Amino acid sequence: MFTTLSRIIKYGLQVFRRNGWVTASTIVVMVLALMVFEGLILFGVLTQKAVVELEDKIDISVYYKQGAPEDEILKMARAVEKLPEVKKVDYVSREKALEIFKENHKGDATIGQALENLDDNPLLASINVKANNPEEYAAIAAYLGNGNFQSIIQKITYAQSQTAIDRLVRLVNTLKRAGFFATVFLAATAALVTFNTIRLAIYSNREEIGIMRLVGASNVFINGPYVIQGIMIGLAAAIFSVLLTIPIINASSGYINVFIPGSNFDQYFASNVLVLLLYQLLFGLFLGVVSSTIAVRKYLKL
């Protein structure tokens, strides 16, 4: 068995080297497919970071009446925080709201002078509620709108935020579906192209395969070298795809970090390059081995 395996590997390496142009074209096609596959992975990471940034900017604010007791407000805040849909609740007192307002308008002399002439703080106490999932804001708003807290509530901002929340939910769902279908389409396309290019390599060696069959070579012995060729193509394509992606990431990361603040795209790629290489190797080996096996078996049935 060891002798047979060594011969299969040796002949597979010969096929890999001998069919130079066919092998090179197959590697190029595989590299393109793997780069798109890697791009989908990175796009998924960026999409997730962008969604997190958008989700962080959306919340429900509850403003309380001017004379609402602070202990009642805090009691309501604690009750809301216990809801399973709620991620975080931030309480903003009237004094804190005034400090934030002054900080946001410290460069505006007119507003600063107007605040100095006020006898009382006109701002209301509030809580800002963030959900675990954008789809859960409707349930939170329904809870806030029940009659238990209406005596102290001045306004709930869900109605103003609902359009943005609904758009975010649709965007997230659309991106998930698009990523899934794009991955399936890419895998099918890459498998088909690799299958056809390996069939071309087999066709160029049809006379040798015919001779091997005449002298009684087993299907495993005939199939083996092309499986080895598929493995070599997958390994080479995976390595080249990652190496070619590095300068693209370096060139685009600056723009991406500006477009999606906090993404640190170049740092993410550098810290996960080995994981991405592993994904590429697995995907490349899968395509190469499966495509070459199916191609040879179809040929052997002729």
Report the range of poorest mean pLDDT among 22-36, 66-80, 207-221, 274-288. 207-221
pLDDT in tens, 96-122: 888 888 777 777 777 767 767 777 777
| Residue from 89, 83, 84 nearest 62 by CA | 89
* Cα separations in angstroms, 176 against 24, 40, 168, 280: 34, 11, 12, 21
Q: What pLDDT score was predicted for residue 302?
A: 45
Residue-wise burial string across 193-222, b where 16 or more C-beta atoms lie within 10 A, e elsewhere = bbbebbbebbeebeeebeebeeeeeeeeeb
Q: What pLDDT score was predicted for residue 182?
A: 72
Give the domains, in start order, of the chain with CATH numbers. Answer: 2-54+168-300 (no CATH), 66-151 (3.30.70.3040)
In the chain, the percentage of residues whose pLDDT exceeds 90 is: 0
The residue type of 12 is G
Who has greater pLDDT, 204 or 237? 237
Separation of alpha carbons 253 and 34, rounded Å: 20
Q: Is the pLDDT of residue 244 over 80?
A: yes
Who has greater pLDDT, 44 or 164? 44
